[in-house]
Amino acid sequence: MKIIHRPFEGCFVLEPTVFEDARGFFYEFYNKRTFERVTGLQVDFVQDNLAESGKNVFRGMHFQKPPYQQAKLISVIEGKILDVITDIRPGSPTFGLWYAVELSEQNHLQLFIPKGFAHGYLVLSDRAKVFYKTDEFYRPEYDSGFRFDDPRVGIRLPVPREKLILSEKDKHLPSFDEIVRP
């Protein structure tokens, strides 16, 4: 495993070591010792989640409010997504900036998102299965988010808004400035 990009302080795009031959491939999806050695972080993941979605589904921009913020390790086990994060850490020099990376079953890339980021993703393939680890349990009373299309943040997706499939919750999220204040 190696870090191939650091879009924000504490955030990493990781590339696992993949062993391929005529039978297929093998790689360690997660190894605590390797993760700590490569990133320099000690993260106690406590929950694993799996979500399946169809093409043009957008989930996000979600986060948990303090004191139950979550760090996440995102991977795609089937299909392809555009994973999007926004820095919501008050006082951060990159506060309000966003970053996107394509994660797929072909590239095997993983995205580590530290606490203090909102997260969302767009499904680019017909179907996608997204697997992610979190270091804090889901707590619905601390669940929050903002509109992905808020001009204050300026997230650009490769699919027109009218073709996106959103949950009722995501359709009615507040603006960035209403929910995230520096």
User: Would you tell me how many other CB atoms lie within 10 Å of the CB of residue 55?
Assistant: 16
Full domain range(s) for residue 156: 2-16+49-179
Of 30, 62, 68, 142, which residue is the catalytic one?
62
> What's the first-to-final CA gap in the chain, in angstroms?
35
> What would the pLDDT profile of 20-51 be if each residue is shown by its tens digit?
999 999 999 999 999 999 999 999 999 999 99
Look at residue 182 in the predicted model and tell me its pLDDT. Answer: 54
Whether residue 56 lies inside any domain: the answer is: yes
Query: Rounded to an integer, what distance in angstroms lies between the CA atom of residue 166 and that of residue 102?
Result: 19
**168: CATH:** 2.60.120.10
Whether residue 80 lies inside any domain: the answer is: yes
Please say if the pLDDT value at position 12 is more than 80: yes
Of 108, 119, 121, 132, which residue is the catalytic one?
132
φ/ψ (deg, to 5) at 142: -110, 5
132 counts as catalytic: yes
Tell me how many domains the chain contains.
1
108 counts as catalytic: no
> What would the pLDDT profile of 65-81 be if each residue is shown by its tens digit?
999 999 999 999 999 99
pTM of the prediction?
0.95
